[in-house]
Structure 1
Amino acid sequence: MHHRLEAKYIEDTEVPIYSCPTEADVGSYRVIVYQTVAIPPNSEVVISATVSGVDKGLRWGAVEGHHSNPTGVMVGRTLIDLEAPCVPVRIANLNRHTQTLQEGTCVGKCDRVDFVIDVPPQEEKDVGEAGDVERELAPDLKSLFERSSVGLSGGQQEGTREFLLRRQDLFSKGSMDLGRKNILTHKIETGDAQPSRQRPYRLPPAKREEAVRAIDEMKSQ
């Protein structure tokens, strides 16, 4: 029901102002705490709540937070059954102190949901004979797999093979990519500084014979 509050005049024209319900007319309903609950700090709980003013014939609704929620309390968006007497609501307390929600407190709003589509779970591909054809090991990794599978059980061999398939990009594919990488590059900013030049460092002739003798002794050990 609409209640007349006051009237405004615009160029001698009376414009009445009425109160408007905040529920059914805008398609949203209030989510009320069913029983007083204390939520510990930095924690998440599932509480029981009721939805007020639901129109008959509605089955599904979506719960989300409300602007009047206490600071630091967040309500998770959830699909609920409006025909149930109580609905579960997930609430997180992000404060550093315990937050108490009294019975009858409005913690969120519920919007009507017209359609609910059941999406079947995605089927996982069976790694069998067909998967072996599509997921072949590289020639170099085949040799590594054969050497690493010696003494392993069937399950361990399959696990080794799956690991090599997932990590095959980490292994070298030939002699051309050994010792090379392009993961990260560094750049040192030197500004206007010029490179410093030094004379080639050589042993003086008096010490060369001693250095050669020390090297020969190390080779003979």
Structure 2
Amino acid sequence: MIKDCFVKNNQDETKMRKSDLKNSTSLKQNTDSQKKNCSIVSSTTSLKVDQDIQESGLFIKAMVNGTQCNLLLDTGVTLTILSDQLYAELDKTGKIGLSPVTQRIVGADGAPLTVQGKGLFCIRLGSQEFTTQAVIANIKADGIIGLDFLQTNQCLVDVCKTKMYVHGVEHELELQGNIGCFRVSLCENISIPPRSEMVCPGRVLDLPKLPQIPLLIEPYAKFQDSGRALVARFLVNSSGKVAVRLMNISSQSQTIFKNTVIGLTSPVREIILPEKEGIVNNVMPGENKETLPEHLNDLFDRTKTDLSEEQATKVKSILIKFSQIFSKSKDDFGRTSLIKHRINTEGEKPTKQPPRRLPHHAAEFVDQEVKNMIDKGIVEPSSSP
């Protein structure tokens, strides 16, 4: 769960403040073993989130007029398009005549493309050759195989197996580029008890294969606004399924059904550790660079005397994981704002009693204890009658 972090991309830097992440606060209680794939990130950790400006998607290796290139498959594009850079390379080997294009062509962002013209090109996929018309425009990819080529040549794209069949001939596809931001849904029905936290299995939608890099899980705004549960921001290892931390802060159980979209995920390319001493939580998933807090050293030393080395290592790991629940001193008291204490008087009127006189020898001790409790914030001065 990220308390306060910097999320960086190639275009800007945005700081997530603690006030923006208040809904990510979780109860300090134990959950199940699925937390082993989760990493807490400290307040000064910087995350480089993959938001590459290059095109991402399924590509196929091809030869266009004898020049090797990677072509992007896109069923949302009606025309096959080649980049102006690829055309410049082709033009070196022989002049390729272009005819003007009268229609206006826009990109996925709605901005118009700069079009040089259209012409006939020889596209070779493996042992198959096709002569097709393509438009030359300023696109980032080498080229885009559009719906015209896919329909004309009876192409069948298998996204799960990353393969394409052209007139029945199989061709390998390759997932390139960085995945953007994808939805995360639950794998099963869950019921969260009142004021409790759970780690639940989720899966990333719209993605054929998870990258073998850490993923940043964030809340899905629509689910968060429903008020059923809070979704923590935190890092997970990508291993088929992803763990999602949910918290129910209400006084009633909350049931969330399978396939409910609860979060969004983006890949994290790098975690930049701050050059400070004493920071122990900012590590990559799978690493353990944490140290035992000083106030638990005595407890650990007394505990490990009758334990094997393996058992002592496990105990140390547990103490580090739950170090926040141990008081650092006799004056270290825990507090919560989730529950408020009420004294039910059942309609009875307040009573008034005269103060009891203290023995003279105890007055100094009582004054000192009251002062200590005021200094620690346990009590506060009262002006009631």
Same fold (TM over 0.5): no
Give the structure-1-normalised TM-score: 0.43
